[in-house]
Amino acid sequence: MQPHDFLGTVAHRIKHNNLTLKISQQKEHAAGKPGTAESFLRFLQQWLEEHMLKTDKEYVQFLCSKGVV
C-alpha cells in the first residue's frame, strides 16, 4: 500500500495496531474468567470479517487501478 501511495495506509495500520492492543488487553483480563474465550473469539471473527470483506477491499481496488494486483 505505502509504495503505491494509498491514502488509507495510515488508517489501515492504525486498525491493525488497535487489534494488537485489544489482543494484549484480552490476554491480561482473560485469565481464569469463564466465557472470556468465547466472547473474544466472537469479537475476533467479527473484526476479521469486517476487515477483510470491507477494509481490505478498499486497497485492493486501489492497487488494481494501479495495475499492481
Report, as an integer, the average pLDDT of 13-39: 82
Tally of domains within the chain: 1
**Domain extent for 52:** 2-65
Claim: this prediction has a pTM higher than 0.85: no
CA distance 36 to 43: 11
Query: Any idea which residue has 481496488 for its cell?
Result: 61
pLDDT at 27 over 80: no
Query: Any idea which residue has 484480552 for its cell?
Result: 26
> Where residue 31 falls among pLDDT bands split at 50, 70, 90?
low
All three cell numbers of 53: 470483506
Report, as an integer, the average pLDDT of 4-22: 91
